[in-house]
Amino acid sequence: MKILMVASEAAPFAKTGGLADVVGSLPAALKSLGHEVAVLLPRYGAVDLKDARRVYDALPVWLAPDRYDASLYLIERETPFYFLDCPPLFDRPGFYTEDGLDYPDNHIRFAVLAQAALEFSRRVFRPDILHGHDWQAGLAPVYLRTTYANDPTFLGIRTLFTVHNVGYHGLFPEEALAEIGLAGSPVFRPDGLEFFGKVCYLKGGLNFSDALNTVSPTYAREIQTPEYGFGLDGVLRARANVLTGILNGADYTEWNPETDGLIAAHYSRDDLSGKRICKQDLVHAFGLPPEAMEAPLIGIVSRFTSQKGADLIAEVADGMVAEGFYMAALGAGEPQYEELFQAMAARHPARIGVRIGYDNALAHKIEAGADLFLMPSRYEPCGLNQMYSLKYGTVPVVRATGGLDDTIEPGTGFKFRPYSGSALLDALRAAREAFADPDGWGAMMRAGMAKDYSWKASAAEYARLYQSLAGRA
């Protein structure tokens, strides 16, 4: 089958989160199953085109009454990645924001991406399945059902829309409809794009696509509830018959302690000796004292936001130290939470090390060197770090939500359900007691390392979903 993925990010070209990891890795896994996949992305200013070749000039995109001329660049990896080059819209320092503010023309930028996907399908790569990711691609199925509804070029093309995080809607004022070529179209209604008086691109993808999925089975259930649906739970319940959850996969070519070139020593399930060398390296990197080598060391690599449970970590920091834990944390995010982490480290400089920012090499060192990996998320569509942690024999402590609940089980990690500091501390105490038994701890490490969350199984589920969609064409 031929699949066109449309997204705003893909690793390693443009990344702010897990969306980029999925779009960067899933196509190659699908290719290994015999499918032909192409990916269409914006060409942001940060995308290096030195390995690209220009393959199409003057791809026309009409958002009545305006025309946007774009060109296409191609970078060949395991699968082709095409970049939509429209400098007035995308050649900017940020992807979505600059200096903390959304670009005021984001509604136009991602409407152009969505309609360009259809022109791309007409002129370059006609897919069986058009697979959009998150709100930035949400208008592609809308245009397919409206502007292009009577165009025979697109007969038989089916649409799948993946929600990576239902908390991000892509909301714009009603006046945006005129600028995106949908003025007068009957789409601004509750079963269309309208969301409390605004235009919602995510809702467009949810209502106009043939099938929906999200990035873990538990998250697919959670987002149908008021607690996790961010106001769209009713839409998702109404479409529950075409909504599935497919776990994201981990890229073990990058995250594998047997081959990782960024860690101090390699190790495996059969020989864990290198794990201690990695812990020594991590202790040194964060300036922790030698005593940390004999105590449970918690690792964190995260965005410092309320979604990721930064407030819970701050709440229990003093109790965690009192219980005998050390911590090495890497992340960046909302200023108030960055300040909370820095304050923790200032209060306990011999027990808590914090680095603000993102450092890929240091992230690998944390995964390899920590004893425990903490993810107390308020909600977590899938999560990847808990999968990496299992592979590295770094026992996860997670809140039982979304993909965290799906991937961590008794014997490979520790879970807690109430979103509270006391519940988190209870889980940490259970982990500390287990850590005190070296034989049992080693067995738990090996059980986690035996888990396989590679893209192979997830890609096979996507392939089945695509085939099911095509069969209904």
Q: Rounded CA gap, 381 and 383, in Å? A: 6
Q: Rounded CA gap, 25 and 390, in Å? A: 19
Strand order in the sheet with 414-416: 352-356, 326-333, 297-304, 372-375, 395-399, 414-416
Full DSSP string of 148-216: TTT-GGGTT-EEEEEES-TT---EEETTHHHHTT-TTSTT-STTTTEETTEEEHHHHHHHHSSEEEESS
Q: Which CATH class is domain 2-249+456-471?
A: alpha beta
Q: Where in the chain is the domain with CATH 3.40.50.2000?
A: 2-249+456-471, 273-452
The helix (H) or strand (E) run that includes residue 417 is none
Residue with tokens 């396989």: 452
Q: Are strands 53-63 and 66-76 parallel, antiparallel or unpaired?
A: antiparallel
* CA–centroid distance for 440 within its chain: 33
Helix 335-347 to helix 310-322 angle (10° resolution) is 10
Q: What pLDDT tens digit does each residue of the chain (473 aa) get?
A: 999 999 999 999 999 888 998 999 999 999 999 999 999 999 999 999 999 999 999 998 999 788 998 999 999 999 999 999 999 999 999 999 998 899 999 999 999 999 999 999 999 999 999 999 999 999 999 999 999 999 999 999 999 999 999 999 999 999 999 999 998 889 999 999 999 999 999 999 999 999 999 999 999 999 999 999 999 999 999 999 999 999 999 999 999 999 999 999 999 999 999 999 999 999 999 999 999 999 999 999 999 999 999 999 999 999 999 999 999 999 999 999 999 999 999 999 999 999 999 899 999 999 999 999 999 999 999 999 999 999 999 999 999 999 999 999 999 999 999 999 999 999 999 999 999 999 999 999 999 999 999 999 999 999 999 999 998 43
SS3 473: coil
Non-local (6+) Cβ contacts of 397 within 8 A are: 298, 372, 373, 374, 375, 376, 413, 414, 415, 416, 424, 427, 428, 431
* CA–centroid distance for 146 within its chain: 30
- On whether the CB atoms of residues 63 and 179 are closer than 8 A, the answer is yes
Which class for 270: exposed (0-12), middle (13-18), buried (19 or more C-beta within 10 A)? exposed
At position 356, the amino acid (one-letter code) is: I
What torsion, rounded to 10 degrees, do the Cα atoms 443, 446, 448, 452 define? -150
Q: Rounded CA gap, 252 and 387, in Å? A: 10
The helix (H) or strand (E) run that includes residue 299 is strand 297-304
Is residue 226 reached through a cis peptide bond, with omega within 30 degrees of 0 on the bond before it? Answer: no
Structure tokens at 282: 């991590």
Please tell me the CATH superfamily of domain 273-452, with its number. Answer: Glycogen Phosphorylase B; (3.40.50.2000)
Structure tokens at 425: 């501390």
SS3 357: coil
Is residue 381 reached through a cis peptide bond, with omega within 30 degrees of 0 on the bond before it? Answer: no
